[in-house]
Amino acid sequence: MAGDALLAIVARQFTAAGHGMIEPIIANGIGFMTQAYEATAALTGSTLLALADHADARAAVQRDPALIDAAVAEVLLIDPPTHSTRRFLAHDAVVAGQAMRAGDTVLVLLAAAGRDPAANPDCDRFNILRQDRRILNFGAGVHACPADRLASRIASCAVAHLLGMGGDLGGLRDSLSYMPSVAVRAPLFGSDGKG
């Protein structure tokens, strides 16, 4: 690996911070970059779909482009792009009453995390003006997604740019399909329904 390659830099930084196992760092770096690409593209597409489906939100965003960030955040709550992630046990443990061994995989389902009415009242209604929105699908603590703000910012910029071009969102559902994936719900748009 070249010394100035992104993964080499990440590996050096982790080693300098006292995390010396390079292989898991590289594997996680590759996973992060590929999943971040798919999930951010999915967030952009899902935000466009939400604005196509909700004329009131689309009109509000057109009047005040600063509301695009709120529209993206609401999509993260109502229709998050990342539906699941995996975790691997470092040690034997009992998870949700099930005995598991080191190396076993736990599939963490994230899709409905924001739909808990205790976390987000009126959670089934798309509302870009929602107060105290709790977005849970980026995780927390040591397993929190490091791209939570970056992904949202990229999606907001992409949506702003596409809306600024004056495109008609009305026909998006006419050519809609979804990318085959077990982890990410990514809309694909195209005349043949395949992107």
Burial class (CB in 10 A: 0-12, 13-18, 19+), 103: exposed
CATH T-level topology, domain 31-189: Cytochrome p450 (1.10.630)
Mean pLDDT confidence for 71-76: 96
pLDDT digits (tens, 9 = 90+) for 99-151: 999 999 988 888 888 888 998 999 899 999 999 999 888 877 777 777 778 88
Contact 155, 51 (CB under 8 A): no
The residues, any chain, with a CB within 8 Å of residue 128's CB and separated by 6 or more, are 57, 60, 61, 67, 70, 71, 73, 74
Tokens encoding 16 = 């300098």
- Name residue 121's beta-bridge partners: none
The kind and range of the H/E element at 98 are strand 98-100
**195: confidence class by pLDDT, cuts 50, 70, 90:** very low
- Long-range contact pairs involving 177-181 (C-beta distance under 8 Å, separation at least 24): 179/38, 179/42, 181/38
Instruction: Name the more confident of 37 and 99.
Output: 99
> What is the pTM for the complete model shown?
0.78
pLDDT digits (tens, 9 = 90+) for 136-189: 888 777 777 777 788 899 999 999 999 988 877 888 888 899 998 878 889 998
